[in-house]
Amino acid sequence: MATKLFVGGLAWTTRDDSLKNFFSTVGTVVSAQVIVDKYTGKSKGFGFVEMGSEKEAEEAKAKLNGQELDGRAISVSDARPQQPRENQPQQ
């Protein structure tokens, strides 16, 4: 069981603080981060939330998956470890 959650389907306008506030309705939020493009600074439409306990993470998945945040229905699931990438050309 994990405490870190993947949140997909975020509105381009959703920021870290609104993501944290939304998830704090079901428990303690350790961290909340909307992933942004490193070149443009624009949201990539997904993020990660770390809850205070496994129980709170399970509750967040059950209660918040499919709910609306900033006008968009979000998906909430367990975060998976990042897979190693193939060598990418430098830009």
Q: Encode pLDDT of 4-38 as tens digits.
A: 999 999 999 999 999 999 999 999 999 999 999 99
CATH of the domain at 13: 3.30.70.330
Q: Encode pLDDT of 47-80 as tens digits.
A: 999 999 999 999 999 999 999 999 999 999 999 9
Three-class SS state of 6: strand
Bridge-partner residues for 36, per DSSP?
Answer: 43
What is this structure's pTM?
0.87
Assess if residue 67 is contained within a domain: yes
Alpha-carbon distance of 64 to 75, in angstroms, equals 8
Residue whose pair of structure tokens reads 């939020």 in the numeric block: 29
Contact yes or no for 44/74 (Cβ under 8 A)? no
DSSP label at residue 89: P
The domain containing residue 41 runs over which residues? Answer: 4-75
- Predicted local distance difference test score (pLDDT) of residue 12: 96
| 16-23 vs 54-64: helix crossing angle, rounded to 10 | 100
Domain count, the chain: 1
